[in-house]
Structure 1
Amino acid sequence: MIHSIYIRNVLFYVLAILLPLIISFFLTLYFFQNDEIENMEQNLIDSGEKVLDIANDEHVLKNNLESISYFQLMEFIVMDEQRLVYFDAGYKFDLPDEVISHVLDGEFYRKESGVFIPNILVGLPFEINGENYALFIKPNIEQATSMVRNTLLTALFIVLVIGSLFIMITTKYLVNPITQIILATEELAKSNYQYRVPVTRKDELGKLSNSFNLMATELEKVEQMRKDFIANVSHEFKSPLTSIRGMTIAIKEGLVTQKEATNYLSIIEKETERLSNLTEQLLKLSILESEKYTFSTQNYRLDDQIKNQIVALQVLWEEKNLEIETSLQLISISADKDLLSNLWTNLLSNAIKYNIKGGKLIVKGVEEDSIIKIVIEDTGIGIEDEDLPYIFERFYRADKAHTRTENSYGIGLSMAKKIVEIHHGDIKVSSKVGVGTKIEVFLPKLK
């Protein structure tokens, strides 16, 4: 139970209140008594003198002493010249002979001792009917301080109870969001990614709840991407494998002619090649994402690499009768040449594939300070606004009508983004339906 943050906070705050209150109690009691000692002594002297002024005989003296001792919380003792107790009002103690003699000889006596409980004693000489007497007066300090202590202790108890209740309530209010987050983490552990922590505050705990909800949202997206990835991979493999199985059975059982068998074998070869390419791309993407790729940089001319990639794709852009416009400065870079080659192949292939016949492909490259900017722009079909945030996700196709037979797996842009990130760069896409798409790649020179 003590491991609970709620219990520990309550105990901590109660101690934080209790210790200062105890210290304050003793300090208050101490200073109260010290401040009152002088007043108390003077009151004793004044009371004794008043009694003696009106005490013209023994009977009046006793009555006055009894009244004062009852109402003023004082104790008296009167001694005569033979040192016998003449009057006792509850004051039980032994007085030293020298003190009694000092007062009987007509001298005033006062004594103070003790710290938290002072022991005040006043001795006054007086005379009745020609005989000397000594009046010793002592206040009932223990009773007076007991009243003060009881009052302070009562106040201390009330403050402690009210403070503890207040602390319990406020601590519950503080700990409640943490408790909710603990419950939420337990739900996440059960794969309940839809669970959210209610946010009712704007302080640090409120920010923590918001951060947790943001994390849960991202985990939900990742989980959905994982499911989609499995579903897409299964779909990409299942359909061609089913076709290959059917055609091989037909050939094996002689259900087709020689010409049809040859055609089937050609289809099987293309499908297996496509599946091999898909597997290879998935393996590359997996290696890149796992950060196990051996990053090997070298210095080379980036503009020459891009021009060579454009030439390598000549068959594709000539087939669509595209106009190629290049504006590449002389650019040197230190980077992984093979990865960037893969990057330009993916981006240029997409720009050609989704362009219109007779359209234009624009490739620009400039060096701005220590940043290299490459722009690949086409005049193709464009991408819908709702598709733009997802085009870098695996197996996502903005062109829903695009088929697998065209060797499009929805992995190229995922790999492109990862390659750029590995080089500590950035990639941006802007597009307008019916106008075209522009991709901007920003790479550091990495000298």
Structure 2
Amino acid sequence: MNALNQTQHANPDAVSGLLRFITAGSVDDGKSTLIGRLLFDSKGIFADQLDAMSRSKHKRTVGDAVDLSLLTDGLEAEREQGITIDVAYRYFATPKRKFIIADTPGHEQYTRNMVTGASTADAVIILIDVSKVKLREDGGVDLLIQTKRHSTIAHLLQIEHIVVAVNKMDLINYDQAIYDRIVKAYREFATTLGLKDITPIPLSALSGDNVVSASEKLSWYQGPTLIELLESLTVYDESHSAPFRFPVQLVARHNGHEANDFRGYMGRIEAGKVSVGDKLVVQPSGQSATVKDIVTLEGSHQSAVVGQSVTLLLNEHLDISRGDLLAGADRPATLLKSLNADVCWMSDEPLDQRRKYWIKHGTKQTAAKVTAIESLLDINTQQRHSADGLKLNDIARVSLSVQQPLAADAYADIRATGAFILIDEVTHQTVAAGMIRLGA
């Protein structure tokens, strides 16, 4: 897409108060129904959608009740099986805020799609089905493995807010004692993960209790409803104050035979801000550059910030192409030929350390090889163990070597330049998503 057509004068999230969030948890925990309830009760669906859902041959409710899960389960296979397979995005707004929701799958085999949905989220709603957790005689609770896996991924991706939605409270007659036991068990697990901002909430997505409206059946709960909680979450994008990062997507040229020859570098500002006259460094070459102009569809601007797609013009005539990074000269990225990273293995085919993969980092793609598996993470205990291979859904710390140097940052500092994917060079399928750890 032409970068000039993507330009905005300001960060859109800051203007609209946009919150991106996902639902996660085990299969049949009620994720799709919860989103359907949010949209239905907040008047976020149209009459024709409601009518189509009411007449659906795959409706899984009794009588005239609407099957709200059909709003996000759009694939035929999803409706037939009553599960979520792909990531479904929905948009809605309240008078206080705009939202983008990602309904992610609960099945273990589709964990890779959950990683995709979570990668841009500000918050995650971890659903826990009260009818599925095991209540032990000693007073403890055994959480499901997918609840733990999705919480671990949320932690690795550094999602800021964790909402623990204890769902289907109607099945236990809104018993506060059981709710308290489940919340206690989750908090104990979250402590081992290092999760901090956790907000529990009891609800019933099917009945609508505590989703948009407070429920008398949950009178013992004194906190906000789910929608009130989502409206109140703060979203602070640290990438505004981060050093400037601009992966070059395309080199734009006018007719080189004309007097007003033009060479611009198009892309999206992934971190920081830039102004005319700023000193930059081209990475990985190390050449110095000065910003001559910042061009958008509306014309020239003196400055631009993270989230904007712009074309940068430089005073110098330099050899810059797609895959290069323009960074602030005072705080450039780190050049890496080898790196450590946490990876989520997303392929049915296990890792083969004898072969090469493509690594896609920003706009750059080069050959890479996993040189060592440092440790494999045990989802249940959060302990790390040695491993000689990786299979679907494994989370591990690995070492990689790359053919061409990457201009990167630690994922903890800048997500965009700290994340990458590995691609199978034969099938071109994404096999892993990774987060770079510097100094680890």
- Shared topology, TM-score over 0.5? no
* Rg larger for: 1
More strand by share: 2
Which gives a bigger RCO, structure 1 or 2 (Cα 8 Å, sep 6+)?
2
What's the TM-score, normalizing by structure 2?
0.21
Structure that is richer in helix per residue: 1
